[in-house]
Amino acid sequence: MKPSLRVLVGVAVLAAPLALIAPAQAANTLTMRGADVSSLQRSLDLGARYYNASGAPADPYDILAAKGVNYLRLRIWNNPASGYNNKAKVLQQARVIKAKGFKLLVDFHYSDTWADPGKQYPPAAWASHSLSQLQADVFNYTYDVCTALKAQGTTPDAVQIGNEINVGMLWPAGQVVNNDFAPLASLLKQGYRATKACHGGTQVWIHTANADSNANARWFYDGIRAQGVTWDVTALSYYCMWHGTLANLYNVVADVRSRYGRPVVIAETAYPFTTADADHQPNVISGTARCDNIPATWAGQAQQFSWVQNTARNAGAVGVFYWEPTWHAVRGNGWDPADINGTGNGWDNMAVFDWSGRVNPHLYWTP
């Protein structure tokens, strides 16, 4: 964390703990200032409006660019019931993203629905497949999506082979059991091989939610490295409510950067701007438990995001992505892809746009 007092559009941000001040390397810069906008196309299709800090209607992509964003992330599900976040929709949104001048990160879940540390369900079409069949599935699907993006002039700058794969993906075949990383490694290698066959310059990220401890991060990344897995970027999720202090984040980022010799990115982070709920869907994070004693307000959200960026930067990371900043309270853009109209939005208090669609005037992505 930079030792000086930071001021964000008139909002004073207090100095962070001294443990975060000393950077792991001098003059580090966050070259990847990202946002996951996977829900945005659905919101726009439903008629959502977005407004800049002065309250004027504006294109949400332009608002994000003005806030400092230069990299956008899209998740891809194989065959979601909602009809969104599938190959066709990713191709559609990628055209807009590239036309606006952003770089593109494609996040392969290898599922028809959410994949995260607690669940990694194979797509229905792959459910009965053996490990060897799944290896071919991962290669073919990754290559197919990547080449389709390339063919329309929107080659991805980076892809994730799996999403928050703390203990593997495509369970049970690709789950890490009894410290056996071989099955998972065989799948990751196919994802890497497919990506490079599509375009050698596309980065391959391996993403876990292991920013909580050096022990967990080392267990995973040591495990895949020992199996000969190659990757280009080490990607971590950091939500302070689940993954601990900023001092802990600093230590994990600095450790994995040094230990594996690869760039490190915080692929997901977010903080609430309110403790209230916009709809009938309970908020994933209530905001009542503060991190760093920061309140769930617009100013508080901006302060926490600034501190995360500073901590990541000073620890040697090269990027920070905010997860779903545009997913404000739009009726019909539900949490569950199997019931997208019937479920509400569990992230309506975590977006950087309020329930009317106005952006947080204090929050910025900074190099």
Using CA of residue 39, residue 40, residue 42, residue 47, what is the dihedral sign?
A: positive
Contacts of 64 (CB under 8 A, 6+ apart): 35, 37, 72, 325, 326
Residue 273 contacts residue 349 (beta carbons within 8 Å):
yes
Q: DSSP labels for 44-80? A: HHTT---B-TTS-B--HHHHHHHTT--EEEEEE-SS-
Collapsed DSSP state (helix, strand, coil) of residue 265: strand
Sort 355 into a burial class: Cβ within 10 Å, 0-12 / 13-18 / 19+.
middle
Q: Is 324 a catalytic residue?
A: no
Contacts of 357 (CB under 8 A, 6+ apart): 48, 49, 50, 51, 328
Q: Name residue, tokens 């779903």.
A: 324
Q: What share of the chain is helix, strand, coil (3-state, %, to 5)?
A: 35, 15, 50
Amino acid (1-letter code) at residue 279: D
Q: Which among 137, 157, 268, 348 is annotated as catalytic?
A: 268
Cα–Cα distance, 208 to 206 (Å, whole number) = 7
Cα–Cα distance, 132 to 310 (Å, whole number) = 43
Cα–Cα distance, 81 to 4 (Å, whole number) = 49
Q: Is 268 a catalytic residue?
A: yes
Q: Which among 36, 107, 137, 164 is annotated as catalytic?
A: 164
* Buried b or exposed e, range 222-253, using 16+ CB within 10 angstroms: ebbbebebebbbbbbbbbbeebbebebbbbbb
Using CA of residue 308, residue 348, residue 290, residue 249, what is the dihedral sign?
A: negative
Q: Where are the beta strands (DSSP E) in the chain?
A: 6-8, 11-13, 32-36, 71-76, 103-108, 158-161, 203-208, 233-237, 264-268, 319-323
Rounded (5°) CA angle 90-306-365: 40
Q: Would you please indicate which residues are annotated as catalytic (active-site) residues?
A: 164, 268
